[in-house]
């Protein structure tokens, strides 16, 4: 199995012990820099060649097609970036605890060239349900089982990523995540918290695809999105929530109702509105990069 190297020393133990070590060990300079910038994410403009990874997705990006790869809007989720400084390939997963498979492992392994890959993990906080810990432990177990060496550039997970604020209403314990986003610069290997102006094409189809298994909807070699056909019928139950107030949506549809960012409810309402007039089946969709953005390929 793989070796997690922190400051050159290999880590061992099960994934819960690893998480404990990462939560309590000395912070790398890169982790300190991430925490310091956590409340002020850098804006990645729509004009930048970026690849945005949505929740329950993972992707590889090549420097010839993208400058930045990243993800955002994480609360109990874990965003992990892996960089190969020699090939300048990058990988990002926005992981929410879904079971991981050998197919998922194969994608990560394509970065491997026998030298340690740079690993950055952020996300989770001291949430009341303990969902963050479950997510981080599952992802560490997955990474630890890979036949790949990782050097931990930064790990800011769970309690390390927790800040306290004044509770906003009943049931709120005041715990919040500091870092909810992560971007990787493919050319330099720099990592930073980011807000993406462009969160990529076909958000509703991708949202529907992301149930049951980790999705890879972007093909790095051809620089195209390839979305499978997907039924909308499994999500029609959401329509009955359309008239409910924001608080109800947060309490019933979020793992961390007090920690979601301002985009959570508007995004959810946009998805509900889409479902009202959507066909029962969204057809397969291939999108290629053009000078005017992602365009369908017939």
Residues in Cβ contact with 66 at an 8 Å cutoff, skipping those fewer than 6 apart: 49, 50, 51, 90, 186
**112-59-69-45 Cα dihedral, nearest 10 degrees:** 160
Q: What is the pLDDT along the chain (298 residues), one digit of tens a residue?
A: 467 787 777 877 888 988 998 888 888 899 999 999 998 999 999 999 999 999 999 999 999 999 999 999 999 999 999 999 999 999 999 999 999 999 999 999 999 999 999 999 999 999 999 999 999 999 999 998 898 999 999 999 999 999 999 999 999 999 999 999 999 999 999 999 999 999 999 999 999 999 889 999 999 999 999 999 999 998 888 888 999 999 999 999 999 999 999 999 999 999 999 999 999 999 999 999 988 889 999 8
pLDDT of res. 292? 86
Q: What is the distance between the alpha carbons of residues 233 and 240, in angstroms, rounded to a whole number?
A: 13
Residue carrying the six token digits 């997690």? 4
pLDDT of residue 11: 77
Q: How far from 125 is each of 11, 28, 31, 36, 55, CA to CA, in Å?
A: 23, 19, 15, 16, 17
Residue 116's pLDDT is 93
Residue 164, helix vs strand vs coil: strand
Which pLDDT value is given to residue 291?
86
φ/ψ (deg, to 5) at 148: -135, 145
The closest of 115, 113, 69, 118 to 94, measured between CA atoms, is: 69
Residue-level pLDDT at 2:
60
Instruction: Fill in the DSSP letter of residue 62.
Output: -
Burial class (CB in 10 A: 0-12, 13-18, 19+), 1: exposed
pLDDT of residue 189: 98
């Amino acid at each position: 199995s793989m070796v997690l190297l922190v400051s050159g020393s290999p880590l061992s133990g099960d994934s819960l012990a690893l998480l404990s070590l990462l939560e309590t060990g000395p912070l790398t300079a890169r982790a300190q820099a991430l925490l310091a910038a956590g409340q002020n994410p850098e804006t990645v403009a729509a004009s930048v060649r970026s690849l945005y990874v949505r929740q329950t997705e993972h992707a590889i990006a090549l420097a010839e097609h993208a400058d930045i790869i990243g993800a955002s809007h994480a609360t109990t989720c874990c965003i992990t970036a892996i960089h190969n400084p020699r090939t300048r390939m990058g990988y990002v997963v926005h992981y929410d605890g879904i079971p991981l498979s050998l197919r998922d492992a194969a994608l990560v392994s394509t970065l491997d060239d026998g030298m340690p890959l740079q690993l950055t993990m952020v996300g989770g906080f001291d949430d009341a349900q303990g969902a963050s810990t479950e997510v981080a432990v599952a992802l560490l177990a997955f990474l630890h089982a890979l036949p790949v060496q990782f050097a931990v550039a930064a790990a800011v997970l769970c309690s390390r990523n927790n800040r306290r604020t004044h509770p906003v209403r009943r049931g709120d314990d005041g715990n919040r995540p500091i870092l909810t986003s992560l971007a990787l610069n493919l050319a330099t290997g720099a990592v930073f918290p980011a807000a993406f102006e462009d969160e990529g094409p076909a958000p509703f189809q991708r949202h529907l695809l992301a149930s049951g298994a980790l999705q890879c909807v972007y093909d790095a070699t051809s620089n195209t999105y390839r979305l499978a056909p997907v039924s909308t019928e499994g999500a029609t139950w959401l329509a009955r929530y359309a008239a409910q107030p924001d608080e109800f949506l947060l309490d019933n549809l979020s793992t961390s109702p007090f920690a979601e960012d301002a985009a959570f409810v508007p995004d959810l309402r946009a998805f509900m509105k889409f479902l009202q007039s959507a066909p029962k089946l969204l057809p397969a969709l291939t999108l290629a990069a053009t000078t005017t953005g992602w365009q369908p390929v017939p």
